């Protein structure tokens, strides 16, 4: 898609509307698709990758003016997204059985629609392929309508099914099923878009059982897959068949691998084509939902069960290669499941969104960047869209804390206010969701429960009868990670005390943790005893466990451990109340230390080296380095993502100052930076070389040990002529050679004389005058 990222429609009797949402500009205008004397009953929509939108609509309901009912129409959103144009419509006999295909849109913006309806004897069934060009036309028009040859034998048909898909060489595949009392047959034909003709009908399946839920997909080679169910022996079986574009024929029927278990109907729910070219489909068996993949030759993978309860409100969207979002509307709220197709790992996100209307619209679509996901839904007359981030490494994201407030004790019939809040170390953009978890039914004033909000919730409830009403507040961060807290509303003529163990805590190991129950109260008397008890975690010794405030030492605990404690309070009437709190051990990550090295001078023409290898991280490891130039004549950095980078100074100007920044990141995502300044020096001075000479005799022979030391970075050269031989540090030759280590020269005799010549050349090419040393 380009701009359009979602499509949502609202229907009121006799009118059909649409709204388009874009991440750049938000919700667009509410546009009327058409006004009709019929009620829109079924819709199928297609949004192409180029941003075209087309819609097929089936209508039911009596048309007052003529006494007939049922209709089908085809529409597309204009290119400027200001109006809906109609590509055609048909009026059907009353109580017709109608099937419509999902529209298919070619690259040139031409939309194709399929429709098939039956009525029973003596009515002749009808099927059409309709096509229309998407443009800015205010009214739209029929581009063309092509009747499909149906029921040549004149048998009475029922339960029509039709689907279409774009094919190779400007063609459109049309597949439909004819159900009649003597059997069922699945047909296919090919429409030539250039000639405007339909080919001959081809039988691709005959059966005594019915066919349904057609879904057609095409790959980049124009091969086509048809997914459907076939009824046999009282059960539905998921099956597939494929069209080979090279051979120009349909293949054999393939049975889709059924999940293990008892004999139960299996059928497809959704199907889409992945960026990898595979088919990603979901199917249902009983109450369980599975997903599996296939190529366009019928090779299916084994089914993978999904953590989904509500199979009738399900959308799937690929956010990036091998990464699938599965959005479902569950009884507890909208849930997102991320499916990694490489590892088959399933990651569940709780959105914190609850839809109370069981018939509400629902859908999801990928965002513009990374693995974000957009969830759209309608609820109680409103239309909403929420964006969620992809899950991150759990080591970097802790669950938020939730505070549902203190427990409340009231008399029957009184109104109580529930006030909640939450905190999160990483993000302040939190969502809150209240829901009742126990006790008699309460009457909530001003807002229903469960419900959700983007800010702190205040709910007012009336509690009519004796009992303990339990209400939970769930606080969810943008990654779907949540924390919960429960509040108890005690309704009793002799109200019990209210235990308050204090908020959940996150502390560092090594300090003393305090458990504070001093805000516990008793509206009808006084608290006479407190008792703290540890419920979970590594055992600790509680100090003052029978008082309102207890404590314990955390020195022996490890980061990440979670300890749970219960406070029990007893009032002067013998009534008892309890509350729990958790203490989580954490170890704050210390940022790394970036060390770009000291500021230096670099000779013009030399290779400059940036060395950040002295950077460190005391509580982890550095996982990435990044060098970047901040000022000076731009240079080309080599190995800029390693600890040591370099660049060539050739072409720079003497006296130029260049500054660079080193950014290092540790294994917990913390970042540190450091800077270094390099000054380019124009070097025109030759190096000065110092000669250290030591003369000695051994076994009657005279030797000289010679050491060369230049006053700057330079390469030294030497040669020996006359009556002397190099024995150590070089070759015995009179040619010039490179000095690398101290040299030893042996004279040929007692009166022999040799000449030792030497010079040095620095990195800027400056060469010293050759010097001589007479050896005798």
pLDDT tens digits for range 440-452: 776 654 333 333 3
Q: Which two tokens stand for residue 493?
A: 């003529």
| Per-residue model confidence (pLDDT) at position 449 | 38
Q: Of 174, 208, 242, at which residue does a domain stop?
A: 208
Do 40 and 148 fall within a single domain? yes
Low-confidence ranges of the chain (pLDDT < 70): 1-14, 21-27, 61-69, 120-123, 137-143, 152-155, 262, 309-313, 319-320, 332, 350-398, 426, 442-462, 478-480, 492-495, 588, 684
Does residue 369 belong to any structural domain of this protein? no
| Per-residue model confidence (pLDDT) at position 382 | 59
| Per-residue model confidence (pLDDT) at position 324 | 82
> How many structural domains is the chain composed of?
5
Do 462 and 546 fall within a single domain? no
From residue 173, give the alpha-carbon distance in Å to each of 239, 254, 650: 18, 19, 65
Alpha carbon 507 to its chain's center:
31
Do 458 and 522 fall within a single domain? no
From residue 704, give the alpha-carbon distance in Å to each of 567, 716, 717, 739: 91, 18, 17, 15
| Per-residue model confidence (pLDDT) at position 9 | 42
Do 500 and 578 fall within a single domain? yes
Q: Nearest Cα to 349, choosing from 207, 482, 180, 200?
A: 482
Q: Give the per-residue SS3 of 357-391.
A: CCCCCEEEEECCCCCCEEEEEEECCEEEEEEECCC
DSSP 8-state symbol, 331: T
Domain ranges, residue 457: 392-493
| CB within 8 Å of 430: residues ≥ 6 apart | 400, 422, 424, 475, 476, 477
Does residue 331 belong to any structural domain of this protein? no
Do 616 and 732 fall within a single domain? no
Does residue 292 belong to any structural domain of this protein? no
Do 770 and 626 fall within a single domain? no
Cis peptide leading into 2, omega within 30 of 0?
no
Q: Which two tokens stand for residue 549?
A: 């405030």
Distance CA 49, CA 272 (A): 14
Does residue 478 belong to any structural domain of this protein? yes
| CB within 8 Å of 200: residues ≥ 6 apart | 189
From residue 161, give the alpha-carbon distance in Å to each of 61, 411, 646, 725: 21, 61, 68, 102
CATH of residue 635: 2.60.40.10
Do 635 and 670 fall within a single domain? yes
Do 428 and 502 fall within a single domain? no
Distance CA 550, CA 517 (A): 8
Q: Which two tokens stand for residue 600?
A: 């230096």
Give the Cβ contact number of residue 574 at 10 Å: 9
Does residue 33 belong to any structural domain of this protein? yes
Distance CA 92, CA 61 (A): 11
Do 59 and 169 fall within a single domain? yes
| Per-residue model confidence (pLDDT) at position 121 | 58
Distance CA 333, CA 336 (A): 10
Cα end-to-end span (Å), the chain:
89
Q: Of 587, 620, 654, at which residue does a domain stop?
A: 587
Q: Which two tokens stand for residue 752?
A: 């022999």
Does residue 241 belong to any structural domain of this protein? no
Does residue 593 belong to any structural domain of this protein? no
Do 749 and 761 fall within a single domain? yes
DSSP 8-state symbol, 683: -
Do 60 and 141 fall within a single domain? yes
Q: Of 140, 173, 208, at which residue does a domain stop?
A: 208
Do 695 and 743 fall within a single domain? yes
| Per-residue model confidence (pLDDT) at position 648 | 93
**pTM of the model as a whole:** 0.51
Does residue 352 belong to any structural domain of this protein? no
Q: Which two tokens stand for residue 230?
A: 């076939």
| Per-residue model confidence (pLDDT) at position 595 | 96
């Amino acid at each position: 898609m380009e701009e359009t990222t979602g499509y949502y429609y609202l229907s009121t009797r006799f009118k059909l509307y649409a709204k388009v949402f874009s991440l750049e500009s938000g919700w667009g205008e509410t546009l009327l698709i058409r006004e009709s004397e019929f009620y829109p009953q079924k819709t199928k929509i297609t949004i192409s990758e180029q941003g075209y939108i087309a819609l097929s609509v089936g209508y039911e309901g009596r048309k007052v003016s003529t006494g007939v009912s049922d209709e089908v129409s085809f529409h597309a959103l204009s290119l400027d997204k200001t109006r809906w144009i109609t590509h055609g419509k048909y009026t059907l006999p009353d109580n017709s059985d109608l099937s419509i295909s999902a529209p298919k849109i070619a690259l040139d913006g031409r939309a194709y629609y399929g429709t098939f309806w039956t009525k029973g004897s003596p009515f002749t069934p009808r099927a059409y392929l309709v096509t229309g060009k998407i443009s800015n036309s205010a009214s739209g028009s029929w581009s063309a309508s092509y009747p499909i040859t149906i029921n040549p034998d004149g048998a009475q048909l029922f339960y029509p099914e039709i689907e279409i898909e774009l094919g190779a060489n400007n063609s459109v595949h049309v597949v439909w099923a004819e159900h009649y009392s003597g059997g069922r047959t699945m047909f296919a034909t090919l429409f030539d878009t250039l000639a405007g003709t339909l080919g001959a009908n081809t039988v691709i399946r005959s059966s005594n059982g019915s066919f349904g839920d057609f879904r057609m997909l095409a790959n980049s080679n124009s091969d086509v897959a048809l997914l459907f169910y076939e009824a046999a022996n009282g059960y539905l079986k998921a099956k597939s068949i494929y069209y080979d574009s090279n051979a120009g024929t349909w293949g054999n029927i393939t049975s889709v691998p059924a999940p293990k278990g008892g004999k139960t109907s299996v059928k497809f729910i959704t199907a889409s084509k992945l960026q990898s070219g595979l088919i990603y489909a979901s199917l249902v068996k009983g109450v369980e939902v599975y997903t599996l993949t296939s190529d366009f030759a019928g090779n299916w993978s084994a089914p993978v069960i999904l953590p989904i309860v509500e199979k009738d409100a399900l959308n799937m969207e690929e956010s990036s290669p091998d990464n699938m979002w599965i959005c479902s509307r569950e009884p507890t709220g909208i849930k997102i499941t991320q499916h990694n197709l490489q590892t088959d790992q399933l990651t569940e996100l709780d959105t914190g969104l609850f839809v109370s209307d069981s018939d509400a619209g629902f859908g999801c679509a990928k965002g513009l960047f990374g693995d974000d996901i957009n969830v759209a839904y309608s609820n109680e007359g409103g239309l909403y869209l929420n964006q969620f981030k992809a899950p991150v490494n759990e080591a970097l994201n802790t669950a938020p804390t939730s505070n549902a407030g203190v427990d409340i004790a009231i008399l029957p019939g009184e109104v109580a206010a529930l006030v909640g809040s939450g905190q999160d170390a990483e993000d302040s953009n939190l969502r809150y969701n209240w829901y009742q978890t126990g006790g008699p039914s309460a009457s909530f004033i001003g807002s229903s429960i469960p419900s959700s909000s983007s800010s702190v919730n205040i709910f007012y409830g009336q509690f009519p009868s004796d009992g303990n009403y339990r209400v939970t507040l769930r606080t969810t961060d943008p990654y779907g990670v949540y924390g919960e807290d429960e509040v108890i509303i005690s309704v009793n003529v002799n109200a019990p005390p209210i235990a308050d163990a204090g908020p959940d805590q996150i502390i560092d190991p090594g300090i003393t943790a305090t458990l504070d129950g001093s805000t516990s109260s008793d509206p009808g008397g006084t608290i006479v005893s407190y008792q703290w008890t540890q419920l979970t975690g590594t055992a600790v010794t509680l100090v003052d466990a029978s008082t309102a405030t207890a404590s314990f030492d955390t020195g022996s605990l490890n980061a990440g451990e979670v300890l749970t404690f219960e406070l029990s309070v007893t009032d002067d009437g013998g009534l008892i109340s309890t509350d729990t709190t958790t203490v989580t051990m954490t170890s704050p990550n210390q940022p790394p230390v970036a060390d770009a090295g000291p500021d230096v001078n670099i000779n013009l023409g030399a290779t400059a080296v940036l060395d950040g290898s002295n950077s460190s991280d005391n509580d982890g490891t550095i996982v990435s380095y990044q060098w970047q130039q901040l000022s000076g004549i731009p240079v080309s950095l080599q190995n800029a993502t390693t600890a040591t980078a370099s660049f060539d100074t050739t072409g720079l100007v003497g006296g130029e100052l260049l500054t660079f920044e080193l950014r290092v990141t540790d294994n917990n995502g913390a970042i540190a930076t450091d800077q270094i300044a390099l000054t380019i020096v124009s070097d025109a001075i030759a190096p000065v070389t110092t000669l250290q000479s030591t003369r000695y005799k051994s076994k009657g022979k005279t030797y000289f040990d010679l050491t060369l030391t230049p006053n700057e970075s330079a390469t030294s050269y030497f040669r020996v002529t006359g009556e002397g031989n190099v024995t150590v540090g070089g070759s015995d030759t009179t040619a010039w050679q490179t000095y690398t280590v101290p040299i030893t020269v042996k004279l040929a005799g007692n009166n022999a004389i040799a000449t030792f010549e030497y010079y040095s050349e620095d990195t800027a090419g400056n060469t010293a005058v050759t010097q001589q040393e007479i050896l005798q």
